[in-house]
Structure 1
Amino acid sequence: MRASTSRFSAALLAAASLVASSPAWAQSGTRQPSRPAQPSQERSYPLALRGYCPVCLVNMKRWVPGSPEHEVIYDGHVYRFPGEEQKRMFEADPAKYTPALHGDCIVCYADMGRRVPGELNFGQFHRGRLFFFPSDRERQKFRSDPATYADADLAFGGNCAVCRIEMRQEVPGKPEYAVHYRGLRYLFPGPEQRAMFLADPEKYADRPPEGSGPAGDRRSSTGGPSESRVVSVRGRTSCAGCEFGVKPLEDPDVLGLAVVAGDEIYVVEGAHERYPELYEDRFAGRRVQLRGVALKQDRNVTWVRPSEVRIMP
């Protein structure tokens, strides 16, 4: 698997690095301008993959420009295809062909909680999925530890969003019943739960914390303490009060749960009530993913209202 992935990654890089030059298109047997033609009317949705066909890229490992006459709006993005055949294939299984985060950098999202657009000449194919990065630095970081980053866009750790609400149970989903919503992937155990989600995604979705904007927003995480910002980090658990002398803002009488990522300390608000088992075991240094909104930052300490704290394998 690693050898196959590496070979295609090299091919993907070679093709993408020539995406703006005619020799690349000559190699694929297609003469095209450096960028596919844009529709004359103003678009209300962003154009994914600069208009190139995702089906051709996944199935044939070729960069083929799509046409405005054959396009689909999926999860707020426009995907284009050279013909109806490719369009129908995408519509039958969009999750198979959609790049992670619609082409935004999965490493930036996991490490910094930011939606940073990737570049087509910094691509990676991993276990059937396409990933794009803003530079080779992020791509190499992904390659060195794909297990840490590949599923950073997976809502609820892959458990069924509908089952959480309707059954109050954590039921693992299956990749064959995947849906993208606001850039995140949702998995479901069967077609019934998938259909229920599609009928009312706002009811079941992993909502961005209040003030963070939709998950599809490309916003910076470098704002000052007065700005709400999304936090998405991976680190190890610890005791906020015992180890670092800081307490939760909303519950200063408890010692608090901290997630430590490098030199950064994230204090998880309400952890003793929301995640009691993890809170009791906070000294064990469990590896977790924390998602939420920053309430305050003081040097290297950030207080976070969590939307998810998930134990990593």
Structure 2
Amino acid sequence: MGFFTRRKVILTTGLVGAGALAAYAGQRLLGGFEELAAVPVFAKDGVAIRGTDPVAYFTQGRPVAGSPTHALEWNGAVWYFASAENRAAFEAEPERYAPQYGGFCAWAVAEKGKLYSTRPENWAIVDGKLYLNFNDDIQARWQEDIPGFIAKGDKRWPEVLSGG
């Protein structure tokens, strides 16, 4: 689908390779960010929001797993929905339900001007818009000044998306 992320590739063998892999995994578990390439929507394996139904955040007040049975392609990614009704609602008004900043980490867009992944469990709806964040720690940072981060993110988003 044309979506790529920058990935670190470790090409070693024996104990050196195992040690390097363990060190890299430790960095990831401790919350190390991986900067992603600029694309309109954060999609893992081409699927937006890791397969979570974006409409459910608004209708059920929580992340709900979507299904490939109720899939829709929009803005360069495949979106999954928990029901045909949610898919129809999204199709009628995708900008209403799609997460801000293409589903990339709202705090990172605002504070760093960078694109980082998100987890569906780290979310908030503010003024009728869905925002996602990288993890619990980043979500807590973002909540310290939501209006300020939104203002910064809105200003930075066009330049971040263009790779500028």
1:114 alignment partner in structure 2: 114
2:134 corresponding residue in structure 1: 134
Contact persistence 2:119–2:135 (CA under 8 A): yes
Residue in structure 1 matched with residue 94 of structure 2 by the alignment: 94
CA contact (8 A) 1:103 1:132 kept: yes
CA pair 154-75 structure 1, distance change in 2 beyond 3 A = farther
Q: 1:101, CA displacement in angstroms? A: 2.0
Give the aligned partner of residue 85 of structure 1. Answer: 85
What TM-score comes out, normalization by structure 2 length? 0.61
Alignment of 1:1-313 (within 5 A): 46-154=46-154, 208=159, 215=161, 230=163, 293=164
Deviations 1:83-138 (CA, angstroms, capped at 9, x unpaired): 32111100111111111223211111122221011122322222222222223332
Q: Which structure has the larger Rg?
A: 1
Q: Which runs of 5+ in 1 are unaligned?
A: 1-42, 158-183, 185-205, 209-213, 217-229, 231-292, 294-313
Instruction: After superposition, give the CA deviation of every residue in 1:14-41 in whole Å (9 maximum; x if it has no partner).
Output: xxxxxxxxxxxxxxxxxxxxxxxxxxxx
Q: What is the alpha-carbon root mean square deviation over aligned residues?
A: 2.8
Give the Cα–Cα distance (whole angstroms) in 2 for the partners of residues 151 and 77 of structure 1. Answer: 26
The whole-number CA distance in structure 1 between the counterparts of 2:141 and 2:84 is 37
Q: Letter of the aligned partner of 1:46 in structure 2?
A: G
Q: Alpha carbons of 1:136 and 1:62: their partners in 2 closer, same or farther (altered >3 Å)?
A: closer
Partners of 2:68 and 2:135 in 1: how far apart? 29
Equivalent position amino acid for 1:108 in 2: A
| 1:69–1:152 distance in 2 versus 1, CA, 3 Å | farther
Q: Which amino acid aligns with 2:58?
A: V
CA distance in 1, matches of 2:140, 2:44: 34
Distance in structure 2 (CA, Å) of the matches to 1:77 and 1:46: 5
What amino acid is aligned across from residue 74 of structure 1 in structure 2? W
TM-score, with normalisation over the residues of structure 1? 0.34
Tell me: CA distance 1:109–1:54, structure 2 relative to 1, closer, same or farther (3 Å).
same
More helix by share: 2
The change in CA–CA distance for 1:153 and 1:88 in structure 2 (over 3 A counts) is farther
Distance in 1 of aligned mates of 2:68 and 2:87 = 11
SS in 1 for 2:125: strand
Q: May I ask how many residue pairs the two structures share in their alignment?
A: 122
Distance 1:65-1:121 versus aligned 2 partners, 3 A rule: closer
Contact 2:63 2:121 in 1 (8 A): no
Counterpart code for 1:98: A
Letter in 2 for 1:100: Q
Taking a change above 3 Å as real, the CA distance of residues 44 and 109 of structure 1, as seen in their structure-2 partners, is: closer
Deviation at 1:45, TM superposition (A): 6.3
Choose between structure 1 and 2: higher strand proportion.
1
* Contact 1:100–1:153, Cα closer than 8 Å, also in 2: no
Distance in 2 between the 1:64 and 1:145 partners?
Answer: 27
Return the alpha-carbon distance in structure 2 between the equivalents of residues 96 and 73 of structure 1. Answer: 16
Higher relative contact order (CA 8 A, sep 6+): 2
Structure 2, unaligned stretches of length 5 or more?
1-42
Give the percent of matched residue pairs that are identical in Structure 1 and Structure 2. 24
Determine the structure 1 residue equivalent to 2:17. Answer: none
Contact 1:106 1:152 in 2 (8 A): no
